Structure 1
């Protein structure tokens, strides 16, 4: 197990949802962490030990890297990066504001690429490290009103596979996880109230309401704590009752 060597863990989007639950789970086992999000007060309110909380927008590569380097100066090199920050703005292609498309692509794709670029060279040199990118079931199959969101998450799935190819020979793990419908703040980003209502009705109709953000966090932690020689390359996790 990797818990004998507690390297720095960097989690983006740590102020809610999967990121917050990951922070709590890793804190229980004494990992040093860098928690990044735009709502720093939410992270600080958790009052976790050995955790540096920074207000960072992942689309700002300079600020992102500065935060990582500062944390590494205190805790050592990054052993795990979880690119979790993301937004979901649902809408129909014919009607959705293109600025929402750009915002999603900037955060969901460029933010992930920024994070990977910050840590990849150090991990290659050390021949050690793990990158876990949070994609989505919407990154492996299409859903109505999810066009730009699907585009961003298909991109995360694809670029993770490319990064894996670049890093595998250096003994660095790169994997992605695709959660299905889970109760988080993500849906609240959508500005079309009719779409939000329809999404919630769909969740209720299929019974996909029991899986939690903590379940996803535990799965990510499990994948990380496997020996370095073991890589769960692609993980799809949904409520048992979600059939799509």
Structure 2
């Protein structure tokens, strides 16, 4: 168990993948949780103790603020935010529907900022808190047919570092978690079937072994449970056999 009693942790995009795995892990360690996602039934199916589940899209600032206010009235102030919600829609710039760019910018960039906005003022006032932004190796590298997605993830890396500089004098930590290929639903939402097939072929070429959500969740737990004066600024992880 953590050395101190954990405070309320908000996880966005908690209905599947890394978000759900993180919720299960933190709940097992006594964290009170506020879980947000568009699929409320999936959140409730996790059936975790000391947990408030609310349907909320990270693009809806008012919904985020309302959920935070409700959870804080029950569990006390938000101590940690795991900004996990994201969408990956791949395609070449010449062929991809620009509406997919809009969706990724809204969720992957504005959604991250909305999550921060919902909790950061209280953290600064209390001089305590941790913001974990879940990004991707795509925030440091480039990949074929990833132009818009890579752009959003590079933005998350940049805003996280700038936010860390801004909040450091207030004793608030900012951590960036950047996983490589991970066994989540993220690849399945891509509308380009050829790209989906290419991903499966690439995965087979490296032996079929990629990260599991539980492994990424463990890295988030590690960052959260370091003493408040220790900030894991950035943690990039991938399967050992992922070459790029």
Q: Name the residue aligned to 1:166.
A: 166
Tell me the TM-score normalised to structure 2 length: 0.98
Q: Equivalent residue for 1:109?
A: 109
Residues 224-243 of structure 1: pairs in structure 2 closer than 5 A: 224-243=224-243
Cα distance in 1 for partners of 2:230, 2:208 equals 30
Q: Distance in 2 between matches of 1:88 and 1:193?
A: 13
**Equivalent residue pairs, number:** 244
CA contact (8 A) 1:2 1:226 kept: no
> How is 1:75-224 mapped onto 2 (pairs within 5 angstroms)?
75-207=75-207, 209-224=209-224
- How far apart, CA to CA, are the structure 2 residues paired with 1:207 and 1:236? 21
Which moved further from structure 2: 225-234 or 198-207?
A: 198-207
Contact 1:2 1:227 in 2 (8 A): no
Instruction: Provide TM-score, normalisation by structure 1.
Output: 0.98
Q: Which residue of 2 aligns with 1:66?
A: 66
Give the ranges of 4+ consecutive aligned residues of structure 1 lying more than 3 Å apart after TM superposition: none
Q: Structure 1: which 5+ runs fail to align?
A: none
Structure 2 unaligned regions, length at least 5: none
Cα RMSD (Å) of the superposition? 1.0
Displacement after TM superposition at 1:199 (Å): 1.0
CA distance in 2 between partners of 1:24 and 1:141 (Å): 30
